[in-house]
Amino acid sequence: MENNIDEIRYLEAKKRVKEIKGFYVHLLVYICVNALIIFLNFRDLEPGESYFHWSNFLTLIFWGIGLAAHGLGVFLPNYILGKNWEEKKIRELMEKYKQS
């Protein structure tokens, strides 16, 4: 019985590590792609032209919002859906399918 609990904890920890790794990969890609976009935008500027146009920041802003949402989903402790929400929902759906 205790061995089974250890295995469940291991699988949960492995899933958590995968989620955190996924966020860090997302962050790394965000930084690299946006650095490339900034470089290309600077390279294409006309002499005396300012970089600060709203169109230069669209990807940075909207992708940043998505990255922030990803980070909140990974690092906030299930604030919105509560602890063990997935397990409760799975049990509820399994009971529903048994009754059908």
Averaged over 32-54, what is the pLDDT? 86
Return all residues near 70 (Cβ < 8 A) that are at least 6 apart. 22, 23, 26
| Rg of the chain, C-alpha, whole Å | 22
The predicted structure's pLDDT at residue 42: 83
Place of tokens 């399994």: 94
DSSP per-residue string spanning 13-54: HHHHHHHHHHHHHHHHHHHHHHHHHHHHHHHTPPTT--S--G
Q: Could you give the CA distance from residue 88 to residue 53 in angstroms, rounded to a whole number? A: 49
Contact between residue 61 and residue 34 where contact means Cβ atoms under 8 Å apart: no
Looking at the structure of the chain, the number of domains it has is: 1
**Domain membership of residue 71 as a residue range:** 2-99
Between 17 and 100, whose confidence is greater? Answer: 17
What pTM does this model have? 0.71
The predicted structure's pLDDT at residue 17: 94
